[in-house]
Each structure stands twice: as C-alpha cells, then as structure tokens.
Amino acid sequence: MDFPPWLRSRGGRIHPELDLFHTLPSGDRGVIARSDIAEGELLLLLPIDCAIYIPTDEEFKKHPNDFPDAVRYLREAHPGLSPFLATTLVLMSEMTRGSVSPWAAYVATLPASCPDCLLNWTEEEKLELKGTSLEQSGPDPAVDVYRRHVAPILACRTDLWPGLAAKEPPAAEATGATLDAGLAAFARAAGLVQSRAFHLEAENWVSGAKEIAHLENGGTQVFLLPGIDMINHSHNPDRRNAHLERLNVAQAAAAKLLEREPGEEDAREGAKGVGVRGVEAFFVMRADKPIKAGEEVLHTYGNLSDAQLLQTYGFLDSEDDFFPAQFATSVGPSPKKRANAGGNQTAAAAGASGDGGGGDGYRNPYNAALVPWTAVEEVCVGLLKSMDQALPAALRRSKRDFLAAAGVLQSAAPEATQFVLLAQEPLPDELMTAVQVLLMTKDEFQELRREFGSSDPKSTPGGRPAPGAARKAAGKGAKAGGKAAATSAAPAAPGDSDNTPSQPHKKLSLGTALLEEDEDFAEMVCIASLQILESCMERYPSSVKDDVRLLRSAECRGRQRLAVRVRLGEKDVLQTAKKAVVELMKRLRDGGAAEGSQDDDDDDDDNGEEEEVESEDEKEEDGQRRAPKRQRRGLGAPPSEGEDADKEVGSGGRGGNGDDGGDDDEDDEDEAADGLLMGSDDSDKVGYGAVDYDDGIGEAHDRGKAHDLPKDN
C-alpha cells in the first residue's frame, strides 16, 4: 500500500494539496504545496498509534497489545536502554519484517540512509572536523554500541530481528568497512532515528542533551512520526510556514479535526470519525501562514548550531538563506574589491563561492564553541609560573575540587568539563569564575572557600560571595558587565586536604567584583582568558584564512565544505569571546575606573557626571600608577589602548594569529575573515551534556538536538 492510503487507513489525514515526496531542485526530497494553502489549514494529522515509539509505563499498561513485539520485549528485557537505541531497535525490527510489518508503507518512504550524517563519513572525511566539537576520538561509537548492546539483543531474539544476528560476535576493532548485516541495518536505522525522530519530555518538549538526560526518570520519549518527518527544516523564520502540535482527543475534536471531510476516505474499519478507540493523542501539523502553490513546507528542528545540525541531521542550512544582507560583506570580496569591480556584489560573491548560491557568507547565530577545563587549567598554571607564582599541585587540585563542588565544573568528572561559549554569551560566568579561582592567591582562595561555604545567598546581593577586598564591592558585579550570579543548588564539597568547616552549597559565580577591585588581577584574568581562547583556536589545524580561502574555492564541496563551515562557526564564537574579553578589559580600565569601587562611588557622589569622563591627564596618571603594580605582579608594561587582542595574547608568550602585513589579497582575506568572525547577535542555550544510559549512545546522539515537539496542550 502507498503511504497516503496507509496513513488514512490508520486514521490519519493529509492535506489533499500536499506532495509529501517531492524531489527538490537540489535533489533532496521535501514537502511541496501543489496549490495555495490558507493559514491555519491542517497539513497532516497523525494518530499517536501510527508513530513508532517506546511507550511510557502508563501508556503501555493501558494498551499492552497495541505495541509491536519488539517494544514489549525491550521494555521487559532491556529497560535501561536509551530511548534512542530502543526506538532504533524497534525500527530495525519493522524494517526486517518486510511487508508483514504494520509500518511497511512507512518504512518504504524512508531514505536509504541519512546521507551526510557523521555515521557515514569516512575516516579521512572526519579529519576535516579535527579540533571541532564533532572531533571523534576512540572507536566508532556506532560500531562500539552495536558490538556491546545491539548484537547480543539481535542474537537473543532472531524472531524479532530475522536475518540480522551475526554468526560471530563482531570484533572490538570492527569498522564500517567490516559491516555485517546487523551492523549495516543498525547503522541505517540509527541514522534514520537520529535525523528524523522527535523528542518529547513529560514536562517539556525537549531539544537538548540535558533535558533528555531526565528520561531516566521516565519523562522523555522519542517518536518517529510518519509523514510529518518528511518536512524539512529552515532556520529562516521568513521561510518557515508550518508548526507541530500535539492534541488530546478532546482538543482534536474541538478543533473539528476528527470529522471526515465530504468525500474523504473512511478511516479504519469501525471508526466513526478520524481516530479510533484507544488513541489518546494526535500530532498535528498546520500551516502557520499562507503557503503558495509550489512552495516548500518548512518548520524548525530547533535553534541548533552548525555542529548540532551536522551531527544530528547531516546538513547545514543553505548558505544563501541565512540573513543574506548581513553576509554580503563577510567572506565575500572585500568592500574595497567590490568597489573596484563596481559590479553586482552578490553575483561576485556567488561566483567566488563556487557553490552557485552566493553562499560566501554564512553565520549561524546559534553556533557554539567548547572550551575544555584542561585548557583553562593549563593556561592559568602556565601564566602563574611565568610570573614566578607557581600553583602547587595540591592547591590546584583543591581549587578544582572546590569548583566542582561549587557547581562551576561538572561534579562527576570535573576534569572533563567543557565550558560552552555561545555567540550571544561568549564569556560564560562559569568560565570567568574558574579562571579567577585558578589565578587567585592561596589566601584569597581560602577566604573565598570560607565565605562561600558559609554565605547565605540572600546576604550578598545577587548571591555572589566576595572574598577579601572584593567583599565591599559585592552587589556591584553587574556594573562592569558581569552576569548576575547563579545560585542554583550545587553538591556539597568533596573532602580535600584543606577542608574548611564551611562547604559550598550554592553555585559559585564571581561576576566582575574582584576584577573591578583589583586592576592587576583583572589584567591577569583577561590575559589568561585571551590565551585560553587562543589555545582553543590553535586546536584547529587550519587558520581562519585557510578556511575562508577554502570556502571561496569551487573545489570545496560536499562534506569538506560542511566541515569547513562547522570549523568557521566555532572560530567565530571564539573570536567573539576574544573581543568580549578585550571589551571587558577596556571597560574595567576606563568605565570600570569611572564606576569604581563602593568607596570610589561614595567619594564621587559630590562630583557628579564630570568624574565619569576621565581626562587624558588622568588616564596618563592612572597608567603611571598602574605600571609599578603590574610589574609587581610580573605583568610588564601595560598594553597600549589601541593594541588588539591578538597582540596582547602574543605578549603573553603564546603567540597570536595577528597579521604581519602583506599584499592586497591577504588584506582582503583578513577583512573578509574579520567580517565573518565579527560575532553573532542572537543565540540560544546549547546543551552538550553527557547522557547516562546503559548503552551510552545517548551522548553521541543527543549532543545534537532532535526536532522540538510540543507537549500536550
């Protein structure tokens, strides 16, 4: 049976003017309106029992016989499997059952694979992702999960997964090249679930690893939604025209979705309207706005970074679809060149890009970059050493344990913590707090521990504990741009060699109070931060210039192009963070000095606004006052106001990527790279947490988000 009649026979509905399986000019498939569709019209209605999913206990108890045998078996025999892996196994079962499967018509619509999903990249192609958050170390996770979790299940129940059991258990070193039938089926099904599944949490519809981790408490489900999963994604709100809802029966009835249209085929046998006894929810896709004949139906899979899109779905948004006006000047020819050419700028950019799409400039506002704790620690230790203030190993451990107990580092494996930098929040408070704690003296640290451990968040405005000299500035942290302190619960401090009676119980957030108080310390923190960011830049084998050059060349296509765009997206965020550090440093020097400490403020009260603006003389005097202090701290001469971030990093001894001058082309490329890396203006939280299922595959899968799905209204 074809898919549309199958769906209708199961109580679903499809708008008569939708072509669900249209081949787009790109060669991909998409959903197209054959004629105009009005805003609010129903596009697709799917009773929940058409979906492939692992039911909650409650759902299963209500309808134990309505679920496939594979679901029943996995629930009973392998309740600890992640929903991702369990759903993959159920899909594999339906795929192997062929025409006997009640989902045969759906299975027939599924593509042969998720073509560019990382599961399908060769080792050589994956090298292009070196340094990015998608760099994979260790064995291929799919092979590993298959060997450890899937193969034993296939071998146990050959009736549920006929023909897939391996004759011998696959070797640990098995790779994609040594696929057996089971591994091939698993790789395909996993790619499909990864790129098509919708995630639902009991309380929230979720879209990130952190939320999905709650599933262990019974909250989250992964759904394959036939037909609805044909709809492609767009980041561009102007192009999106559909959204998904989940309705219960009463809501669906009230919305008149369960009544048959005149001439509409009968649904299931015995059904009076659409939907049947036992079906308690419907997934409904509606038109958000009028859809013109020939237009593609698009919705959003979530606010995802390029890395997440590639990891989960194997694609990146169209390069010429993303805020095109903003990008005309990014990686394309420089304004100077365009002026010289005097021609059509967009056409010039399109020609240079080689992709025919004018896709020279692309920036995803949801991009993120990861900064490992190990890099933070290494830079801070190195900086202190270079200043003859070596950090003893015991104190270092003490600081790390304290940060973990204070919720700044993950508690289970603090050393594996990765700080997530977002374009909109390029300097997360956790990172700045960690740097400050690492760089503070032993006395300051001990005082912080004492005060933090005993501090009542209500007693320090913003909940920020403030050690030593910074105490008097408590409550002013936000003044210099610091984020308000977080005060979420954190685990108690683990015992360490230097335990004080007071133990941290709130999340530590130092803000900028200490930096406002102590300009030498502020400079150390800023220099360390720049070095950390620079060290993260250095983990990519290619420079920004190389990447920009590659994106401009016609040869850079396919997976290489996807990888280059992921690399540049991350570098963009790192560069934005560097600029934020420089801004912070300037603010602390100029604005910070004007805003001053509490005492300064008190002194300034009479002087009014005049004091806010520092005269040239005062600046000079300030610089002279600063110099001896800096030298005491081993910082050398202060950098001049005009000096840029890279040079400052260079002066810290780690070298920068500053330009050494050169020809016009080089200058143009710099200009282009600068444009590209100017930082994004809109971003969203991105979760990169670990997920703790028996099979461990959740981590790889959930690192990228799946489609958001609304919860029951």
Ligand X SMILES: C[S@@+](CC[C@H](N)C(=O)[O-])C[C@H]1O[C@@H](n2cnc3c(N)ncnc32)[C@H](O)[C@@H]1O
Q: What is the DSSP string of 319-375?
A: TTSS-HHHHTTTTSS-HHHHHHH-S-HHHHHHHHHSSSS-TT----TT-EEEEEHHH
Query: CB-wise, 313 or 323, nearer to ligand X?
Result: 313
* 662 contact partners, CB below 8 Å, separation of at least 6: none
Query: CB-wise, 110 or 258, nearer to ligand X?
Result: 110
Query: CB-wise, 195 or 531, nearer to ligand X?
Result: 195
Query: CB-wise, 111 or 169, nearer to ligand X?
Result: 111
Query: CB-wise, 429 or 702, nearer to ligand X?
Result: 702
Query: CB-wise, 482 or 704, nearer to ligand X?
Result: 704
What is the token pair recorded at 633? 């701290």
Query: CB-wise, 222 or 435, nearer to ligand X?
Result: 222
CA 279 to chain centre: 35
Residue 500: CB minimum distance to ligand X, A: 52
Cα separation, 229 vs 239, in Å, equals 18
Residue 147: CB minimum distance to ligand X, A: 25
Q: Which stretch binds ligand X (CB under 6 A): 230-238, 276-284, 348-356, 408-416?
A: 230-238
Query: CB-wise, 180 or 229, nearer to ligand X?
Result: 229
CA 409 to chain centre: 18
Site for ligand X in 231-260 (CB under 6 A): 232-234
* Options 121, 315, 366, 373; binder of ligand X; rule CB under 6 A: 315
Residue 350: CB minimum distance to ligand X, A: 18
Residue 139: CB minimum distance to ligand X, A: 24
CA-closest candidate to residue 102, choices 157, 65, 150: 65
Q: Which stretch binds ligand X (CB under 6 A): 9-17, 49-57, 307-315, 440-448?
A: 307-315
Q: Does 313 bind ligand X (CB under 6 A)?
A: yes
Mark residue 669 as left, alpha or beta (left: phi above 0; alpha: psi -120 to 50; beta: remaining).
Answer: alpha
Query: CB-wise, 125 or 498, nearer to ligand X?
Result: 125
| Cβ atoms of residues 213 and 691 within 8 Å | yes
Query: CB-wise, 114 or 474, nearer to ligand X?
Result: 114
Residue 527: CB minimum distance to ligand X, A: 42
CA-closest candidate to residue 145, choices 215, 86, 59, 103: 86
> Taking each helix axis from N to C terminus, what angle separates 429-439 and 393-405, rounded to the nearest 10 degrees?
150
| Cβ atoms of residues 365 and 309 within 8 Å | no
Site for ligand X in 547-606 (CB under 6 A): none
Q: What are phi and psi of 341, to 5 degrees?
A: -65, -35
Q: What is the DSSP string of 441-456?
A: -HHHHHHHHHHHHH--
The residue type found at 369 is: A
Residue 108: CB minimum distance to ligand X, A: 12
| Cβ atoms of residues 118 and 106 within 8 Å | no
For the window 14-53, what string marks contact with ligand X as x by the rule CB under 6 A? --------------xxx-----------------------
Cβ atoms within 10 Å, residue 128: 23
| Cβ atoms of residues 360 and 669 within 8 Å | no
Q: Which stretch binds ligand X (CB under 6 A): 2-10, 133-141, 312-320, 400-408?
A: 312-320
Cα separation, 526 vs 621, in Å, equals 22
Query: CB-wise, 196 or 464, nearer to ligand X?
Result: 196
Longest alpha-carbon distance in the chain: 90
Q: Where are the beta strands (DSSP E) in 533-575?
A: none
Site for ligand X in 595-654 (CB under 6 A): none
Q: What is the residue whose two structure tokens read 């603010």?
A: 587
Q: Which stretch binds ligand X (CB under 6 A): 202-210, 224-232, 388-396, 605-613?
A: 224-232
Q: Does 229 bind ligand X (CB under 6 A)?
A: yes
Q: Which stretch binds ligand X (CB under 6 A): 313-321, 533-541, 563-571, 652-660?
A: 313-321
Q: Which stretch binds ligand X (CB under 6 A): 133-141, 309-317, 445-453, 483-491?
A: 309-317
Q: Which stretch binds ligand X (CB under 6 A): 12-20, 226-234, 268-276, 597-605?
A: 226-234
Tell me 36's DSSP state: -
Residue 234: CB minimum distance to ligand X, A: 6
Q: Does 133 bind ligand X (CB under 6 A)?
A: no
Query: CB-wise, 117 or 404, nearer to ligand X?
Result: 117
* 627 contact partners, CB below 8 Å, separation of at least 6: 637, 638
For the window 191-220, what string marks contact with ligand X as x by the rule CB under 6 A? ----xx------------------------
* Options 47, 314, 482, 650; binder of ligand X; rule CB under 6 A: 314
Q: For residue 586, what is the enclosing H or E element?
A: helix 558-589
For the window 158-197, what string marks contact with ligand X as x by the rule CB under 6 A? -------------------------------------xx-
Q: How many residues of this chain interact with ligand X, rule: CB under 6 A?
A: 16
Q: Looking at the DSSP assignment, which residues form a beta bridge with residue 418?
A: 372
Query: CB-wise, 11 or 314, nearer to ligand X?
Result: 314
* 249 contact partners, CB below 8 Å, separation of at least 6: 258, 275, 279, 280, 281, 282
Binding site residues, ligand X, CB under 6 A: 28-30, 111, 114, 195-196, 229-230, 232-234, 313-315, 317
